[in-house]
Amino acid sequence: MTAQAQPNASGSAASSHAQNVAAAAKIVTQKMGALRPKIAIILGSGLGGLADKVSDAVKISYKDLPGFPVLTVVGHSGELIAGKLGGVDVIAFKGRKHFYETDDPYPLKTMIRTAKAVGVETLFVSNAAGALRPDMKVSELMAISDHINYMGLSPLSGANDDDFGPRFVPMTDAWDMHLRAQLIVAAEKLGIPLHEGVYMAFRGPTFETPAEIRMAIKMGADAVGMSSVPDCIIARHCGLKVVGCSMLTNMGAGLSDEKLSHAHTLEMAAKGATNFERLVTEFVKLA
């Protein structure tokens, strides 16, 4: 399978990108058999355990999908999993490439546009994030109502990929309010605390300084992280609806005495993982 793959990740030209998406979509469609997922889920740091809840799973390594990312961060392995979650057909992406690892948006574009090409209509994104509000507790979840792109770049910069979407993309309704309402209904049904708020994306890989956290709060953010905004932008560009939530793994820098580290992020994500898995499983049944 890898033999027919185009060169992966960095430097991939836009023209070979369209070919990669078509080739990856063909492989995924073929392997999925009778599955017809309308929702794809991107699993954030420490949240990959949801993939194990997918039954009748068809697993495809990113290595076998042309243009998909080659992953390096601990806690992420690269696999597309198609199957059933709570009886509903889904695709789960276990692992993705962040902007702190590469400036090349094409691996992420290939993942999301491949989902679209195989019939997906909704992208569910998840991430680990730092909480900025006093009512938020570590290992709780926050439904993302909107975002602030503070990464200093857009995945859509450069020539527009006309095959996939328009040059200019409105972001007024970037995070779908109806799907978010369903996420809130799912949380209420299960008795899982779910905050709602604005996610602000920094490029990382450093955690923020306390001054940056004070700035983020003043700018209207409720949580900070290093991902999901590019995912949302790419998905909206190709016409997917977007919904998602943050796992609040720590208070923002300077708001508590916690020492921030990737190990701490993974540990706190693990504590909230069961709630995350139950919530997403209930949500896909309602969506």
| Binds ligand HPA by CB under 6 A, chosen from 8, 126, 250, 275 | 250
Residue type, 222: D
Facing residues of 55 across strands?
84
Active site residue 106: no
Q: Which two tokens stand for residue 280?
A: 């997403």
Q: CB of residue 41 vs ligand HPA: minimum separation in angstroms? A: 18
Active site residue 98: yes
- Nearest residue to 179 (alpha-carbon basis) of 235, 248, 254, 113: 235
Active site residue 262: yes
Residues 213 and 255: beta-carbon distance below 8 Å: yes
Contact between 47 and ligand HPA per CB under 6 A: no
Query: Cβ neighbours of residue 150 under 8 Å, at least 6 residues apart?
Result: 200, 201, 202, 203, 216
Q: CB of residue 70 vs ligand HPA: minimum separation in angstroms? A: 22
Contact between 226 and ligand HPA per CB under 6 A: yes
Which residue has the closest beta carbon to ligand HPA?
130
Active site residue 40: no
Active site residue 250: yes
Contact between 165 and ligand HPA per CB under 6 A: no
Active site residue 147: no
- Cα(269)–Cα(44) distance, rounded to whole angstroms? 9
x/- contact string, 49-88, with ligand HPA (CB under 6 A)?
----------------------------------------
Task: For the segment 187-206, give every residue that binds ligand HPA (CB under 6 A).
Answer: 202
- Cα(198)–Cα(145) distance, rounded to whole angstroms? 6
Active site residue 199: no
Residue type, 129: A
Closer to ligand HPA by Cβ: residue 174 or 216: 216
Query: Cβ neighbours of residue 223 under 8 Å, at least 6 residues apart?
Result: 129, 130, 131, 132, 136, 142, 144, 197, 198, 199, 200, 246, 248
Closer to ligand HPA by Cβ: residue 122 or 249: 249
Of the listed pieces 56-64, 106-114, 164-172, 222-230, which binds ligand HPA according to CB under 6 A?
A: 222-230
Helix (H/G/I), strand (E/B), else coil: 217 = helix
Active site residue 76: yes
Query: What φ, ψ does residue 237 adopt, rounded to 5°?
Result: -60, -40
Task: For the segment 255-284, give every residue that binds ligand HPA (CB under 6 A).
Answer: 260, 265
Contact between 252 and ligand HPA per CB under 6 A: yes
Contact between 208 and ligand HPA per CB under 6 A: yes
Q: What angle do CA 260, 261, 263 make, to 5 degrees?
A: 130
* Residues at the site binding ligand HPA, with contacts judged by CB under 6 A: 128-130, 202, 207-208, 224-226, 249-250, 252, 260, 265
Hey, which residues are catalytic here? 45, 76, 98, 100-101, 128, 226-227, 250, 262
